[in-house]
Amino acid sequence: MGRLFNKYRAIVGDEAIGRIEEKASPFSEKHVVHVNSTYYGGGVAEILKSLVVLMNDIGVETGWRMLRGNPEFFEVTKRFHNGLQGEKIYLSERKKEIYVGESKLNSLFMHIQRHDFAVIHDPQPLPLINYYKKKGPWIWRCHIDITNPNRKIWNYLTQFIVKYDAMIVSEYRYKKKLPIPQHVIAPSIDPLDPKNMDMRDSDVAKYLRIGGIDLDKPLITQVSRFDKWKDPLGVIEVFNRVREKVDCKLLLLGNFAPDDPEGQGMYDEIMARKGDNKDILVINQTNRRLVNAVQRASAVVIQKSIKEGFGLTVSEALWKGTPVVGSMAGGIPLQIRDGVDGYLTSNKNECAKRVIELLNNRTLAKKMGESGKEWVRKNFLTTRHMEDYLDLFASLSKK
């Protein structure tokens, strides 16, 4: 057993650790590779940083490759991403050429054909399957909310998807009519990552000070990429309504993913909407310990996404014992049991009402946060994610 993996024993217990070790044993001589399009700035990269290291630590040789592309390619794949979430898109032949061309180019120097399992994440590297002779099963892992995709983009991408041996989605609602098996595996957070590990009160105060965050008023926070689908402008509207009843502050803590060319424009819109309001703080920061401190210090965390693949910032906040008021998008309802760990809301007025309720009832907020932490422990930690992958590899090995 790996020394690193053993550190999780105190968090998830002996039974879970033993079960995972047993399931990993048949794959001790197998090679797994994950492919995505960035090593930082997004949820996929965060998951892989923990998952890949821990898989190697328990004896399953696991690699991580990144698809490289020029800015034009990432402009196209962002359009595809938006299209998969329902936005209209003009699917020109030029876009198709750019999209497929980068996968073809990458296949010339990305040697993944000898791996026993290949896990390809999201649309960016999806066409890679056209350019390799498979040794073992290839799995497409879709992290996006595809409940109602643009039909043109979905029909176009399906020609690549059906060549895979299996597909993973984050939520049952994302399953589609396809001739390949589809598996539901929820994403996860790493409880020992600097973003989620225990933090002393003095360290929380230190990082808040570094971030220029004063807790002279209750803090409401949304931690998300600067992305229109996360609805940061809607969060500001909610805050303005809350502030009519409770004196408080809002923090929007986010960053730009390297494969998201729209991030800067969204950031500029946020800053324009913020104006000179000193009770709205906007921080473009990737410091993981700052995120940790903020989620612990916040009175309430909001996740008001319009579309959401899963929304791990919900589990992150709950893990710190902070209640979350979220939307009904994507995997958020899987993480929040309405009225137990926080609240699920469907509009700005309802969101504001629930935030006000938690600000005014700190006993309820504390109870919900404590409940949420145990819910995350049981369902959304890295160890469960590892076990789900091992179960999937086992099922595909039988075919």
How would you write the pLDDT of the chain (399 residues) with one tens digit per residue?
578 899 999 999 999 999 999 999 999 999 999 999 988 767 899 999 999 999 999 999 999 999 999 999 999 999 999 999 999 989 999 999 999 999 999 999 999 989 999 999 999 999 999 999 999 999 999 999 999 999 999 999 999 999 999 999 999 999 999 999 999 999 999 999 999 999 999 999 999 999 999 999 999 999 998 999 999 999 999 999 999 999 999 999 998 766 677 888 999 999 999 999 999 999 998 789 999 999 999 999 999 999 998 999 999 999 999 999 999 999 999 999 999 999 999 999 999 999 999 999 999 999 999 999 999 999 999 999 999 999 999 999 986
CB atoms within 10 A of CB 301: 28
Whole-model pTM? 0.92
One CATH from 3.40.50.2000, 3.40.50.2300, 3.40.50.300, 3.40.605.10 for 3-188+381-397: 3.40.50.2000
pLDDT for position 337 = 97
pLDDT for position 124 = 96
pLDDT for position 217 = 97
Residue 119 buriedness (CB in 10 A; 0-12 / 13-18 / 19+): buried
Q: SS3 sequence, the chain? A: CCHHHHCCHHHHCHHHHHHHHHHHHHHCCCEEEEEECCCCCCHHHHHHHHHHHHHHHCCCEEEEEECCCCHHHHHHHHHHHHHHCCCCCCCCHHHHHHHHHHHHHHHCCCCCCCCCEEEEECCCCHHHHHHCCCCCCEEEECCCCCCCCCHHHHHHHHHHHCCCCEEEECCHHHCCCCCCCEEECCCCECCCCCCCCCCCHHHHHHHHHHCCCCCCCCEEEEECCCCHHHCHHHHHHHHHHHHCCCCCEEEEEECCCCCCCCHHHHHHHHHHHHCCCCCEEEEECCCHHHHHHHHHHCCEEEECCCCCCCCCHHHHHHHCCCCEEECCCCCHHHHCCECCCEEECCCHHHHHHHHHHHHHCHHHHHHHHHHHHHHHHHHCEHHHHHHHHHHHHHHHHCC
Please check whether the two domains, 3-188+381-397 and 201-379, share a CATH topology: yes
pLDDT for position 1 = 59
The domain locations on the chain are: 3-188+381-397, 201-379
In the numeric block, which tokens belong to residue 298?
Answer: 């916040």
* Dist. CA 327–CA 347, nearest whole Å: 8
pLDDT for position 257 = 67
pLDDT for position 259 = 63
Superfamily name and number for 201-379: Glycogen Phosphorylase B; (3.40.50.2000)
